[in-house]
């Protein structure tokens, strides 16, 4: 896309105040919410009452699949004009000197852990399903969906260094990474890179992003990065159905979950010491096995090749093959009841049945390459004021987690990074170190007690938190009491001794139970070591 035309488009969109909050104000909150669900009637009625502005023209054309006269468009977008928009491929002409959208042009408001205020950008992509009203093209480039927003929100905050966006698509992830450091963005799709370059220029970030064409890590062979983010084409797609459509944005061209496995297997070798890989993925559970344990095996195999890793695998959902097949048959534009839809369903279900797949996990994988400075702690050395009784194992740490609770709405990336740091640190501690550590209860932890009227002791005790992921776990009186006094003043060992005396339990058993329980609660974001 012509850079000068992109600059003209930027000037026109800015002048028209084509932004998410202005659109909501124009249409009204209810009509704007309905528009985002694909129901356009309320928004069209609002435009009929309040239309006539450049903003209204842009909304009708690009957000409501409407037609506008060429002269109306020239008035709304004077710097670019209809000729410029046609040259960019944003619009197409009809036979009556009118224009219709050929691409999506969406204002996006996305929170970023590295920015104090939400960011306003414009993103060009192919028309989504509610505007296209038909099947997508094979080289379809998606806009900013829920998965992409989730990936961005989970990224660690602050300056990062050198970054990689693996499978950049429309470029929105690379743009966020450009706020943290210099970025390389790769994709196998030339069309995706074309639109990503245009979006980076629209956002004023073109100079901080280097776009490269190629398959997965091939364009960055031998290079290392401090942060790698990826929403790769991980959708599990039948390989033996020659009639099924193949969409580059979702289909990695491999059998089963091979694409996710390859990202996990190859990614750590491209991390600088201390660098982090964060990717969305789907994984299969074949009959008689657990998909999460298969992911653990991928990570351990990668560690064998590059050295110790810290990893956190979070399964957000687990679906059966029929539900998974329905989701992705609909995604391409097919509708239930049509021959096309039923054929796609049969193809997916035949593939899952042939490979005896019983469930598919959906989630996120976070991997950190252990810093070079991380070395075994030997007996007798002093660690944060405590004498370590035995060597600390420096093997790979893999935390497997099933967490369907809501994500924290703000500063999610920082909360997840803190829980990851603390959880991996606790996992590498010896039991003696866990007991010697002074722990802090995080502010979001709440204790719930369930009582039967008239009884003194609670029937159940639960610890809850809403950050970084909403959790609710059962706790016995020993764990609940220990967490309650974790203000950083006393070591866990001293707390264990005091509670053993108070509750009249064996001191060694109390210390053992608290050590195991605290390691778990650290991963849940309920406890952190006091510095």
Q: 20-27 and 41-50 are packed helices; what angle lies between their axes, rounded to 10 degrees?
A: 80
| Full-model pTM | 0.91
Lowest mean pLDDT among 204-213, 335-344, 359-368: 335-344
* Share in percent of the chain as helix, strand, coil (round to 5): 40, 25, 35
Residues 302, 271 contacting (CB under 8 angstroms)? no
Mean pLDDT of 178-190: 94
In the block, tokens 């009452």 appear at 49
Q: Is the pLDDT of residue 386 over 60?
A: no
| Predicted confidence (pLDDT) per residue in 197-234, tens digit | 999 999 999 999 999 999 999 999 999 999 999 999 88
Furthest-apart CA pair in the chain: how many Å? 88
Enumerate the domain spans of the chain: 1-102, 382-529
Q: Is the pLDDT of residue 136 over 50?
A: yes
Closest CA to 144 of 153, 157, 135, 156: 153
| Predicted confidence (pLDDT) per residue in 277-335, tens digit | 999 999 999 999 999 999 999 999 999 999 999 999 999 999 999 999 999 988 877 88
| Predicted confidence (pLDDT) per residue in 233-278, tens digit | 889 998 776 666 677 778 887 888 999 999 999 999 999 999 999 9
Residue-level pLDDT at 158: 81
């Amino acid at each position: 896309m012509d850079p000068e035309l992109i600059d003209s488009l930027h000037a026109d969109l800015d002048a028209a105040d084509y932004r998410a909050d202005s659109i909501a104000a124009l249409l009204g909150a209810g009509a704007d919410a309905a528009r985002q669900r694909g129901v356009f009637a309320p928004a069209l009625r609002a435009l009929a009452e309040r239309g006539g502005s450049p903003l209204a023209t842009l909304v009708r054309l690009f957000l409501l699949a409407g037609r506008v006269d060429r002269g109306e468009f020239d008035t709304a977008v004077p710097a670019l004009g209809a000729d410029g928009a046609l040259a960019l491929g944003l619009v197409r002409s009809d036979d009556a000197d009118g224009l219709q959208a050929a691409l999506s042009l969406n204002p996006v408001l996305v929170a970023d852990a590295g920015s104090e205020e939400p960011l306003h950008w414009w993103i060009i992509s192919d028309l989504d399903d509610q505007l296209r009203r038909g099947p997508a093209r094979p080289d379809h480039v998606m806009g900013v969906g829920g998965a992409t927003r989730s990936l961005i929100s989970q990224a660690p905050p602050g300056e990062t260094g050198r970054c990689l966006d693996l499978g950049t698509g429309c470029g929105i992830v690379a743009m966020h990474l450009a706020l943290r450091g210099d970025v390389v963005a790769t994709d196998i799709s030339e069309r995706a890179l074309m639109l990503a370059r245009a979006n980076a220029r629209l956002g004023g970030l073109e100079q901080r992003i280097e776009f490269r064409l190629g398959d997965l890590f091939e364009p960055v062979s031998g290079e290392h990065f401090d942060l790698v983010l990826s929403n790769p084409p991980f959708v599990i797609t039948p390989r033996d159905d020659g009639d099924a459509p193949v969409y580059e944005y979702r289909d990695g061209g491999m059998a089963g979950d091979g694409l996710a496995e390859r990202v996990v297997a190859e990614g750590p070798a491209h991390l600088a010491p201390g660098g982090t890989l964060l990717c969305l993925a789907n994984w299969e559970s074949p009959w008689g096995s657990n998909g999460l344990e298969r992911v653990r095996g991928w990570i351990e195999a990668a560690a064998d090749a590059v050295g110790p890793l810290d990893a956190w695998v979070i399964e957000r959902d687990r679906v059966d093959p029929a539900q998974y097949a329905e989701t992705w048959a609909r995604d391409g534009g097919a509708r239930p009841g049509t021959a096309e839809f039923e054929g796609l369903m049969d193809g997916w279900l035949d593939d899952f049945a042939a490979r005896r797949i019983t469930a598919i996990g959906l989630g996120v994988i976070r991997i950190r390459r252990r810093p070079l400075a991380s070395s075994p702690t030997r007996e007798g050395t002093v660690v944060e004021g405590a004498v370590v009784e035995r060597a600390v194992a420096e093997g790979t740490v893999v935390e497997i987690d099933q967490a369907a609770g809501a994500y924290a709405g703000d500063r999610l990336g920082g909360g997840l990074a803190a829980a990851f740091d603390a959880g991996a640190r606790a996992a590498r501690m010896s039991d003696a170190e866990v007991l010697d550590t002074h722990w802090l209860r995080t502010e979001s932890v709440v204790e719930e007690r369930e009582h039967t009227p008239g009884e003194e002791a609670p029937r159940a005790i639960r610890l809850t938190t809403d950050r970084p992921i909403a959790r609710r776990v059962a706790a016995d009186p020993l764990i609940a009491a220990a967490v309650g006094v974790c203000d950083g003043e006393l070591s866990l060992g001293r707390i264990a001794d005091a509670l053993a005396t108070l509750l009249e339990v064996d001191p060694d058993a109390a210390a053992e139970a608290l050590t195991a329980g605290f390691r778990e609660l650290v991963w849940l974001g309920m406890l952190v070591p006091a510095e």
